[in-house]
Structure 1
Amino acid sequence: MDITSIKSVLHELSEEILPSRFETAQQPEPNIIQFCLRGINSQTWIEVSWSSDSARILKINRPEKLGAESTLSKQLRFGLKYMALVTIKQDKFERVIKFGFAKKPGDEINKYLIFELMGKHSNIFYLDNNQKIIAVGKQINSNQSSFRTVSTGSIYSEPPKNMKKEPSPDESYENWKESISSVPETLKYCLINTYQGVSPILTKQLEAFSNLGSSEIMNKNIDFISEVNLKKIYQSWKIWIDRFNNNNFNFSIFDSFFYSVWFLKSEINNINNIDEINGLENYYDFYLKQRKIDALIKKIDGIIFKQTNLEKKNFNLQSDLLINSENYQIYKEKADKIFMTHEIQKKDIIKGQKLYKKSKKLKRAQNLIKERIDIYKNKLDRLEEFSALVDNLNSLKNENLTIRINLLEEIKDEICREFNVRTRNTRSQKKDLSRLESAPIEINTPKGLKIQIGRNMRQNDLISFKFSKKGDLWFHAQESPGSHVVLKSSSQKPSDEDIQISADLAALFSKAKMNIKVPISLVNIKDLQKITKGGPGCVSFHNVEIIWGNPTRGKDYIKKNLKRLI
């Protein structure tokens, strides 16, 4: 979060929560603290992250209860209970925020929360009235920093002062140009390296605000930028400083991706009038969840890739052993030749007996090896199914991001449990999974019958056995991994259209979804059996009927009829 956004958030919060009473705190992830303050009329939740790549402070909606047992959150709840937040301080372009707490408004401040939002150096401190550190987000020893060490019990020292030039509204164009021209760099880095408070996002905002007709001005060497364009940038620079100093903020999206807090409503092409605090919360919520989804997919793909290589290695080893075991007849024939000779000696008898023994051993091993080959083949098939489930999450682009995260976490947990894969435990993984369990997709057919679609192994198991009734119909892509689809036809007889759309959805949620047509197995629920040793979602069936599903038609249908997954 850039300094302009930080100041805009603090400006809004200062008007809303000064003074207010501290109520509670929780730590949902190792580098995030959320705490609640109660004002005269309402509660306000604040989230602070000291993550190196997304350090931020935001007002948020009431979060789910998560992380109340962390040591830091307990210390804050115990130390700040019933205390009043009386001051919020942040000096000009510095990225250090100080929350001061007193027993009641008007009393002397005796507790502090300090947030340093400075990229990889970000941190959080909880101090007493003597500036002694009671708790800290991350401790820093002398090997990690030569400037200062950070540990509980030590006295807090501020980070080094920013020695860059402070932006001034009174600076002339000539002085400004001379300051940024001292080093022959791109305009972007001239501004960043010369002035306080300048971040890469601010340079993009200045470029967009100046309407230069070129989107690459900031990446040009300052010596190759025309005087006209440079003066336009300077005018935008002056406007930014003025609005920063006067707390004139307004949230907006520009370039369809980035956000700004200092463009006025008349200067943006934003149809929706977005509140600043809510706009920032929604922006960070969306992109942080999207990043978490990408990280989970990468993690699951890595687990599947590593486990697939292991199972393939075992499969190939057993295949080689099977080929070798098929030579048992050769060893028997060699032994027979030895005993068929007229002149046989003791050493020949010993050699022949060894050959017979080896032949019998290889013959006995064949069945065991074939069993092992089947086990490894089934494991490879299961990994294919998990891979297909992850791929199918992208079938619905308008799906709720929280649901996608929960689904991915469940799939990762299922793979790790089934294949005994150990992953590093973090606080975010110690969630109450029973509360976060996702539900299968439910959608109605054109005639009003319900269709259920499993998105992971647990859901596949539930809709196929626990939720199903006699008379329901089960659909699955033939010889292709994918989701189980159940048409709830026990209540009334399904039409041909109901059956067809169920087949289309089974084709869509399968690995064969890129095909024009997909063969679908249609089975009555009563003809479906669970394979107990095969893991969740493993089934066998008989009396199958094959029909054709169209994935494209299934995709069009689900987009029209499934507005939003909750």
Structure 2
Amino acid sequence: MASRQPQQPGLQQLDVTSLKAVLAEWRSNLLPSRFEKAQQPDPQAIQLGLRSLTGIHWLELSWQPDAARLHRIDAPPRQGDGSTLAQQLQHGLRGLALVAIEQPGWERVVKLAFARRPAEPPERWLVAELMGRHSNLLLLDGQRRVIALARQVRSQQSRLRPIGTGDDYINPPPLAGEPPRLEESAASWRRRLSLLPLPLAQALLGAYQGVSPALVAQLLPADWQQLPVGALSDDQWQLLWRNWRHWLEAVAAERFRWQPQGPGYRCWSAVLASGGPSSDGPSSDGQAAQGVHPQGPGPGPEAEAVWSAAVAARGTVWPLNQAIAHYYQLRLDSRRLEQQRQQLRHRLEQAAEREGHQASEQQGLLAATRGSQDLQTQADQLLSQRQPSRACIDSAQALYKRARKLRRAVAAIEERLELHRQRQEAIEASLIYLEQADDLEQLQGLAQDSTALLGLGRRQAPGAGSRREQRGVPRPLELQTPDGLVLQVGRNHRQNEWISLRQARRGDLWFHAQELPGSHVVLKSSAQVASDADLQWAADLAAHFSRGRGNSRVPVVMVPTDDLQRIPAAVPGTVSHRGGSVLWGRPQRADALLASVPSLKPASGP
């Protein structure tokens, strides 16, 4: 009997129970529906648009090894319709309708049948194999030959099942273990789990098909999972049997219900200690739900966000699909955010090191120019002789020439040093923005901003970068004070320039942490006179979005935007100012401010 190790905490795989729950909603809402559109948003996912009597529905099918999944999604932006796989699906499924959805046994394999009409035999099959690192997506013709697939599997990659275009489709190898059956008796079930002296979690994973690490966590209390099967009491066996039967009955009757559990989720109701199923979470028919989380730790922040999305979707016909889609979107976006943050941080740190090295070289050159006065003095002494020889005159002229050259070099070197200083400050500010970026769109805007401004990444064709950078209007964070004044916060260099120089009006006030890298904050006091509370809020925000965020108090400069001046040839958003007042900002107060003040625009964009 093969044994599988329990899954480590992290991203929950879409197991066969969740897959059956997703497909139950698909069958209710998609059969039949006509294929309209295929597009590939990323290298490991495809999106399909299907039109039914109730409108167009979008599905996402992903073969990502650690997050293979399929579910309905909201209408996506147009993207990736020119990929080879999307074009093959567009051509192969044109004019066909989805007429059947098959999911054999306890396999994580879904077969979508497409035909001209519901009563006709299928002309195409779209097969999604959601099997971890072996996941794949295949388009088959009516004779089950492969027309297109997401990834070719060569003989050196798999001896059991190589597959490519033109091959006959072969089902995946059969699953290990026994298929779960409602007809099985408690004695047979207990005997099967007790065959080997294993921990209870491993025994469940190895004995039966369709049992995932997530399902084990749903069936067992956490402190039971490592118990040897021989150490369970009769009462424990009875409780586990009751949970097992309840799960099987829920799957057989398609009685699915989504609810968060710990860092993950479940798609069927647990059995409470009283013996009845819990009613926690939105059900597949959109019923309201109340109750407590019956097993496992309480949901974390991400699960609570998914839970809120699922509750909002209770009135729809897609509550499970929408909740699962939100779960994976939140987790995968969070992972991508951290990966991209680390990559951009590394690039910025490399750029800072390069700027520091080049500035040191210029400092060395500047130090060498300090000998110009000595050269001038030596030349004067040569010419002060009563009758200098021709050789003395030539030497003096050469010394004068070298002195003049060194003096001219001072201005150029100081200009280069100032440029390096500005770029170092811009990089330091970018690192601050990077740590404070809290969504992918904002981080991507910062990456584009830093790449264009600091020369990071590969060189582009002339004009290519500028055209891309000019697409779209910068969208800084915008908040509104209780008095109705708008506060704008720049989250990258271009947004800083946009709010401070391009959009500022006479009467607006500019705030920035004194002598610290950070965001520009503009209070739109041109609309009405700002109160002391408005000024303090702006100062708190400027302190919060700066390197001084961890301090209790931060000095903040307040200057009318009319007194700001752009520094020529400097990084966008670099300004100088005349005069100004200093306020004390408290970064911690900005947390409450950001939570309570209405946001007018998302904190994202170029």
**Shorter-chain TM-score category?**
0.7 to 0.9
- Whether 2:241 is the aligned partner of 1:258: answer no
Superposed CA deviations along residues 280-330 of structure 1, whole A, max 9, x for unmatched, are 222223223222322222222222233223333333444455556657889
Correspondence for 2:46: 33
Task: Quote the residue 1:302 is aligned against.
Answer: 346
What is the alpha-carbon distance in structure 1 between the residues aligned to residue 214 and residue 403 of structure 2? 74
Cα RMSD (Å) of the superposition? 3.5
- 2:37 is paired with a residue whose SS is strand
Q: Report the Cα offset of residue 63 of structure 1.
A: 1.7
Question: Which residue identity is paired with 2:254?
Answer: N
Q: In the alignment, which residue of structure 1 is the partner of 2:278?
A: 267
1:248 aligns with 2:292: no
Structure 1 residues 189 and 317: alpha-carbon distance in aligned structure 2, compared to 1, 3 A threshold: farther
- 1:457 and 2:493 aligned: yes
Alignment partner, residue 515 of structure 1:
551
Which residue of 1 is the match for residue 19 of structure 2?
6
Shift of 1:6: 0.6
* Aligned counterparts of 1:185 and 1:536: Cα–Cα separation in 2: 64
AA of the residue aligned to 1:277: N
Q: Where do residues 14-163 of structure 1 align in structure 2 (5 Å cutoff)?
A: 14-163=27-176
Change in CA separation of 1:225 and 1:333 when aligned onto 2, cut-off 3 Å: farther
The answer as to whether partners of 1:410 and 1:437 remain within 8 angstroms in 2 is no
Distance 1:512 1:491 in 2: 30
2:476, 2:601 within 8 Å by CA — same for their partners in 1? no
Are 1:229 and 2:266 matched, yes or no? no
C-alpha deviation, 1:331, in angstroms: 9.8
Confirm whether residue 386 of structure 1 aligns to residue 430 of structure 2. Answer: yes
Question: What amino acid sits opposite 2:498 in the alignment?
Answer: L
Q: Report SS of the residue matched to 1:126.
A: strand
Secondary structure class of the residue paired with 1:267: coil
Distance in structure 1 (CA, Å) of the matches to 2:471 and 2:35: 27
Distance (whole Å) between structure 1 residues aligned to residue 375 and residue 536 of structure 2: 58
Cα shift at 1:363: 7.2
Letter of the structure 1 residue corresponding to residue 454 of structure 2: F
Letter in 1 for 2:456: V
> What is the identity, as a one-letter code, of the residue corresponding to 2:519?
S
Distance of 1:6 and 1:469 partners within structure 2? 56
Q: What is the TM-score of this pair, normalised by structure 2?
A: 0.80
Q: Deviation per CA, 1:249-282, whole angstroms, max 9, x where unpaired?
A: 1111123x32111116951444565432332222
- Superposition TM-score, scaled by structure 1 size: 0.85
Partner residue of 1:315?
Answer: 359
Q: Is contact 1:406-1:436 (8 Å) kept?
A: no
Match of 1:397 in 2: none
Query: Contact 2:49/2:59 (CA < 8 Å) preserved in 1?
Result: yes
Matched-pair contact (CA < 8 Å) for 1:508–1:551: yes
Using the alignment, how far apart are the partners of 1:13 and 1:78 within structure 2? 23
Q: Deviations for 1:76-113, whole angstroms, at most 9, x for unmatched residues?
A: 22221221111111111111111111111211211111
Sort the Cα spacing of 1:556 and 1:117 in 2 relative to 1 into closer, same or farther, 3 A.
same
Q: CA deviation at 1:407?
A: 1.0
What is the CA-CA distance between 1:34 and the residue it aligns to? 1.1
Per-residue deviation, 1:193: 2.7
Q: Report what 2:329 is aligned to.
A: 285
1:369 Cα deviation after fit: 4.5
SS in structure 1 at match of 2:510: strand
Separation in 1, partners of 2:249, 2:560: 71
Amino acid of the structure 2 residue aligned with 1:91: P
Q: Displacement of 1:355 after TM fit?
A: 11
Whether the 8 Å contact between 2:474 and 2:494 is mirrored in structure 1 is: no
Cα 1:433/1:414, change in 2 over 3 Å: closer
Out of 461, 484, 494, the residue aligned to residue 530 of structure 2 is 494
Q: Which residue identity is paired with 2:97?
A: A
User: 1:200 offset after TM fit, Å?
Assistant: 1.2
Which has the higher mean CA deviation after the structures are superposed, 416-425 or 75-84?
416-425
How high is the sequence identity, in percent, across the aligned residues? 34
| Distance change (3 Å), C-alpha of 1:322 and 1:193 | farther
* 1:33 partner amino acid: I
1:414 aligns to 2:458 (yes or no): no
Letter of the structure 2 residue corresponding to residue 539 of structure 1: V
Aligned pair partner of 1:204 in 214, 217, 221: 217
* Distance across 1 between alignment mates of 2:583 and 2:208: 68
Instruction: Give the whole-Å Cα distance in 2 for the aligned partners of 1:200 and 1:302.
Output: 36
Check the 8 A contact 1:148/1:157 in 2, yes or no: yes
- Judged with a 3 Å threshold, the aligned counterparts in structure 2 of structure 1 residues 268 and 380 are, in CA distance, closer, same or farther, namely farther
- Asked if structure 1 preserves the Cα contact closer than 8 Å seen for 2:62 and 2:69, the reply is yes
Is there any run of 5+ residues in structure 1 with no aligned partner, and where? 339-350, 395-403
Counterparts of 1:310 and 1:268, CA distance in 2: 60
Q: Does the alignment pair 1:448 with 2:459?
A: no
1:10–1:457 distance in 2 versus 1, CA, 3 Å? same
CA gap of 1:3–1:17, structure 2 versus 1, over 3 A, is: same
> 1:456 Cα deviation (Å)?
1.8
Describe the shift of the 1:361–1:159 C-alpha distance in structure 2 as closer, same or farther (beyond 3 A). farther
- For 2:562, the aligned partner's letter is K
Aligned to 2:509: 473
- Residues 210-258 of structure 1 show CA distances to partners (whole Å, capped at 9, x for unaligned) of xx5xx23213444454453344223212221222223221111123x32
How far is the alpha carbon of 1:409 from its aligned partner?
0.4
CA distance in 2, matches of 1:543, 1:284: 51
CA separation of 1:504 and 1:131: change in aligned 2, threshold 3 A: same
Q: Which moved more, 1:198-207 or 1:544-553?
A: 544-553
Structure-2 change in CA distance of 1:20 and 1:372 (3 Å): same
Give, as a single letter, the amino acid of the residue that structure 2 aligns with 1:308: A
> C-alpha separation between the residues in 2 aligned to 1:176 and 1:565?
57
Which residue does the alignment assign to 1:347?
A: none
* Paired AA for residue 28 in structure 2: E
| Deviation for aligned residue 1:442 | 2.1
Partner of 2:157, secondary structure, is: coil
Count how many residue pairs are aligned between Structure 1 and Structure 2: 539
Q: Which residue of 2 aligns with 1:535?
A: 571
Q: Take 1:291 and 1:530, find their aligned partners in 2: how far apart are those partners? A: 38
Task: Tell me by how many angstroms 1:205 deviates.
Answer: 0.9
Q: Quote how far apart the aligned CAs of 1:118 are.
A: 0.6
